Amino acid sequence: MKYTSSALLFSLLLCGCHLVSLCQDQKKLFYFLSADSLLGVKDEKGTIIIPATHYFLPIAYDDFSLPIQDSILILVPKPAINLKDPKPYGLAYDRSGKVLYAPYLFDNGPDYLEEGLSRYVENDKIGFVNRWGEKVIKARWDWVSPFEYGIARACNNCPIDYSKDTEHPSLDLSNARIYYIDKKGRTLRPLKTKLSAHDQTLDSLYLPYQFTYNTFETDLLEKIRGLDLISKAFFANYYNQLTDQEKQLHFEIVEKPNKDFPYYVINAFRYDADGSYHKVDNPDLLFYATKKGLIYQIPFDNLEEKVPLNEWLLQYDIKARRYLKEHPDAPNRYP
């Protein structure tokens, strides 16, 4: 299978901006085009770092004179590398031009970073890399989900079935071996019953709570967990009736400071009536915290726009109250 021009219009998302933008490498890098409009990377002296052998779309760039900020660069070679299932999306390079891994193709681009990890493809299997492109979980599954609440679903002997929908195919699980794994790639054994209120429920199975914290981290979470106003404002525009437990957001540190990334990443999770916790897919509810205990809301994962927690919450509350004023029939009101 080869990329077509129409496929590229949807899939060429070049830099891995979801990986790292906090580069310590002071050498400036720039994208450039060859005479036949293929993309490469060179340094400020004009030395070619990555040859111009990759697809390029003009809509993907605004100004080639601006230096590249990312420490991992994801480019699609021409010709594209093997695209049988599980499909890779091009190659991920470091700033020296070394190939690090082949990102997993997801949603017409390279896989997203979730809870500090993203998927890669090797030898027709899927594993995980961290935000620095290091392979931290070996590729050994035919398919594996992103991590959510510290757990990922994985399976072998589960081919992708295109027979009913070629654009959104499903997994054929008729002969599959299904696993649940932690962030070290270890297989989790389901529990007979929940041992903690925060244990996860997946596929009618109980799986153990995955998070551990030191005293500082516990105190950090208590700062944000103690702000009931976040949950009240979040559910203000929900029209279905919710139990008290369903109306209370749950917060966990899903990534801790490491190397050039000096932040704790805090995700918000919703509790569902079936006993499961699921990430709130809302850019308003992504928080970073410093080692000094300062917490910021990060719009669309953009550190340049970070907002102090209390300042953000004031505006979030104002928006929710405005909504409630405009919708007097909204059931999840608060004083």
Question: Per residue in 4-25, pLDDT tens?
Answer: 333 333 333 343 444 444 444 5
Residue 133 counted as domain residue: no
- pLDDT of 214: 98
Closest of 104, 140, 85 to residue 11, by C-alpha: 104
Which domain range does residue 260 map to?
215-326
Res 328 pLDDT > 80: yes
Rounded to a whole number, what is the distance in angstroms from the first to the last CA of the chain? 58
Whether residue 263 is predicted with pLDDT greater than 50 in this model: the reply is yes
* Rounded distance between C-alpha atoms, residue 333 and residue 102, angstroms: 48
- The last residue of a domain, from among 101, 132, 148: 101
With b meaning 16 or more CB within 10 Å and e meaning fewer, what string describes 123-150? eebbbbbbbbbeeebebbbbbbbbbbbb
Per the structure, how many domains does the chain have? 2
72 within domain boundaries? yes
Q: Which of 3-17, 85-99, 208-222 has the lowest mean pLDDT?
A: 3-17
Count CB neighbours of 244 within 10 A. 6
Residue 79 forms part of a structural domain: yes
CA distance 221 to 201: 22
| Model confidence, pTM | 0.89
Asked if the structure places residue 277 within a domain, the reply is yes
The mean per-residue pLDDT over the stretch 255-280 comes to 95
Indicate whether 178 belongs to any domain: no
Q: Could you tell me if residue 136 is inside a domain? A: no
Q: Which of 183, 83, 93 is nearest to 130 (CA)?
A: 183
How many other C-beta atoms can be found within 10 angstroms of the C-beta atom of residue 216? 12
Q: Note the residue count of the chain.
A: 335
* 54 falls within a domain: yes
**pLDDT band at residue 277, thresholds of 50, 70 and 90?**
very high
- pLDDT attached to residue 248: 96
Examine the fold and report which residue of 101, 135, 165 is the final residue of a domain before the chain moves on: 101
- Single out the residue in 40, 68, 101 at which a domain terminates: 101
Q: Is residue 171 part of a domain?
A: no
